[in-house]
Amino acid sequence: MHPRTAAARTASRRGVRRDVRDQTELGVTMLTSLRRTQLRLAVLVVLGVGVVVVGIPLVFLEFPAVSHARVGGLAVGWIILGVLVFPAICGAALAYVRHAERNESAFVDLVERS
């Protein structure tokens, strides 16, 4: 019998929580997949923030007109960096927490059901 099959059979009766805890081959495989899902999510958020953050100075450099543009008497640079970034940061954080919790509860469902 393939070890994976054996692990799956013993797991089916008592739930695989024990596999995760005891780091059986099945448990490690499952947890590695959760870790990678969470890492993908984290990298996505960091890259998203990174692109915006690297991009803002580049836009100012490449398009000096933007640096001098004004909205309601205030320069665009001040509006973006002084005010608008903050709701954007909080929005990104909220979206991240929701997704991360969803990934975890999907994993818990999987463990408790199988």
Partner 1 sequence: MTESWWPVLAVIAVVVVTFVIGTFGVRVSRTTSDFLVASRSVTPLVNASAISGEYLSAASFLGIAGLVLTYGVDMLWFPVGYTVGYLVLLVLVAAPLRRSGAYTLPDFAEMRLGSQRLRLIASVLVVLIGWLYLLPQFQGAGITLHALTGAPSWVGAVVVAVVVGVTVATGGMRSITSVQAFQYWLKLAAISIPAVLLVGAWFRHGAPVFAAGDWGTPLSGYGGRDYPVYKTYSIVLATFLGTMGLPHVLVRFYTNPDGRATRRTTLVVLGLLSAFYVFPPVFGALGRVYTPELAGTPAADTVVLLLPGRVFGGWWGEALSSLVAAGAFAAFLSTASGLSVSIAGVLSHDLLGRTRRFGDGVRRFRIGTLVAVVVPFLLALVAGQLDLAQTVTLAFAVAASTFCPLLVLGIWWPRLTVRGASAALVVGGGSALGAVALVLAAGPFTGFVGALLDQPAAWTVPLAFGTAVVVSLRTRDRVPRATSAAMVRLHAPDELDLRR
Say which amino acid occupies 105.
S
Angle between helices 3-14 and 25-62 (to 10 degrees): 100
Query: Interface with partner 1 includes 85 (CB under 8 A)?
Result: yes
> Shortest distance, CB of residue 106 to partner 1, whole angstroms?
10
Q: Across the chain, which distance is largest between two alpha carbons, in Å?
A: 75
Query: Interface with partner 1 includes 111 (CB under 8 A)?
Result: yes
Query: Interface with partner 1 includes 54 (CB under 8 A)?
Result: yes
Alpha-helical segments (H) within the chain:
3-14, 17-22, 25-62, 64-68, 76-79, 85-113
Contact letters (x/-) for partner 1, 5-44, by CB under 8 A? ------------x--xx-x---xx--xx-xx--xx-xx--
Say which amino acid occupies 78.
W
Question: Which residues pair with residue 75 across a beta bridge?
Answer: 70
By CB under 8 A, name the binding residues for partner 1.
17, 20-21, 23, 27-28, 31-32, 34-35, 38-39, 41-42, 45-46, 49, 53-54, 57, 60-61, 67-68, 73, 75, 77-78, 81-83, 85-87, 89-90, 92-94, 96-97, 100-101, 104-105, 107-108, 111
